[in-house]
Amino acid sequence: MKKLQISIRVNGEDQDLLVAPNRTLTEILREDLGLTGTKQGCGEGECGSCMVLLDGAPVNSCLVLAVQVDGHEVTTIEGVADGNELHPVQQAFVDQGAVQCGFCTPGMVLSAKALLEKKKRPTAHEIRSALSGNLCRCTGYQKIVEAVQSAARNMNRAGR
């Protein structure tokens, strides 16, 4: 099995890697780049805990081959905050109690961030719809939805 040279921009940094074609993006991020914020809950694209933003769009990284994202941009949960300053979505998750066990949290934050970049004032239904590929067993989703609403308000106020 021939390894391939790829170049991915991960959280703003170019990564040049020599990878076997049968490595998923989840594996590369977690094992090769040490970015363990991306989780693996099922490996089959059914839970959303492996979610990353691929060119800004939420995808299940467990169903993406690393070699498919050569030349593309990937944002993981580690790329959301600005240094130690939390993104408004992250801050809202903390403030609104949207985090219990936290395993779905990275995926939820990324889904929410992508949504708010597309829609400044999403309705509750639109929020639930955007998050409908991220399973959560702890919260019942309510405080997550409230956090996204709160983040949207804060971001609109701050003119982001």
Partner 1 sequence: MLLPKFDFDRPTSITEVCEILDEYGNSAQLLAGGTDVLVNLKRKRIAPERVVGIHRVSELGGLSTDRNEIRVGSLMTATEISENRTIARQIPFLGRAAAGLGSPPIRNRATIGGNLVTARPAADLIPPLMVLDAAVSLTSKNGTREIPVTRFVTGPGTTKIKDDEVLTHVIIPRNEAGTGGAYIKFGARHSCEISIVSVAAFVSLTPAGRRIASAKIALGAVAPKVMRCAHAEEALAGQYPGDKAFAIAGKAAARAARPISDFRGSAKYRRQMVDVLTRRALSAACKAARDDIAGRTK
Partner 2 sequence: MPKKFAVLGTRAPKLDAPDKVTGRAKYTEDLNLPGQLYGAILQSPHAHALITRIDVSRARRLRGVKAVITAKEVGLTKYGVSPARYDETLFAHEKVRYVGDEIAAVAAVDLATALEALELIQIDYEELPAVLDVEAALRSGAPQLHADYPNNIGAEVHQEFGDYEAALGECDYVRTDRLLSKRQDAAFIEPHACIAEFDNTGHLTLHTSTQTPHYVQRTVAMVTGVPVGKVRVIKPHVGGGFGPKAEATPLEMSACFLSMKTGCPVKMAYTREQVFLHSRARHQFYHEMTTGVKKDGTIHALHHRAVLDGGAYSSFGIATVYYAGSLLGGPYKLPNMKYDGMRVYTNKPACGAQRGHGGVAARACFEQQLDIIAAEIGIDPVDLRLKNIMQAGDVTCNELDMSSLGMRECIEAVRDGSGWDKKKGKLPKGKGIGMACGFFVSGAAYPIYRSDTYHSTVIIRVAEDGGSVTAFTGSADIGQGSDTMVAMIVAEALGIPLSDVRVASGDTDYSMDLGAYSSRQTLMTGHAAKEAAEDVKQQVLAVVSEELGVPVERLDVKSGRVKVRGKKPDIEAVRMRYIKEHRGWDDMPKGNELTFREAARLATLAKGSIVGNGKYKPPRLGGKHKGAAVGTSPAYGCSAQIVEVSVDLETGQVTVDAMTDAHDCGQIVNRTSVEGQMQGSLSMGLGEALLEEVKFDDEGRIVNASLGEYKIPTSLDMPRVKSIIIESNEPNGPFGAKEVGEGAIMPTIPAILNAVADATGVRMHELPLTAERVYTAMNEAKKKGR
Neighbours of 30 (CB within 10 A): 19
- Taking alpha carbons only, the member of 122, 135, 102, 61 closest to residue 93 is 102
Residues in contact with partner 2 by CB under 8 A are: 30, 35-44, 46-47, 49, 76-78, 80-81, 86, 90, 93-97, 99-106, 109, 124, 127-129, 131-145
Closest approach, Cβ 158 to partner 1, in A, equals: 26
Name which of partner 2, partner 1, none residue 20 binds, using a CB cut-off of 5 to 8 Å depending on partner kind: partner 1
Minimum CB distance to partner 2 smaller for 40 or for 68: 40
- Taking alpha carbons only, the member of 160, 158, 131, 134 closest to residue 146 is 131
Give Cα 92 distance to the centre of its chain.
16
Closest approach, Cβ 76 to partner 1, in A, equals: 14
Minimum CB distance to partner 2 smaller for 145 or for 155: 145
Measured distance CA(73)–CA(27) in Å, rounded:
16
Minimum CB distance to partner 1 smaller for 71 or for 159: 71
Build a one-symbol-per-residue string for 86-125: x at contacts with partner 1 by CB under 8 A, - elsewhere.
-------------------------x--------------
Name which of partner 1, partner 2, none residue 24 binds, using a CB cut-off of 5 to 8 Å depending on partner kind: partner 1
Helices (H), 23-123: 25-27, 88-96, 105-118
Minimum CB distance to partner 1 smaller for 54 or for 155: 54
3-class DSSP state of 59: strand
Measured distance CA(54)–CA(61) in Å, rounded:
9
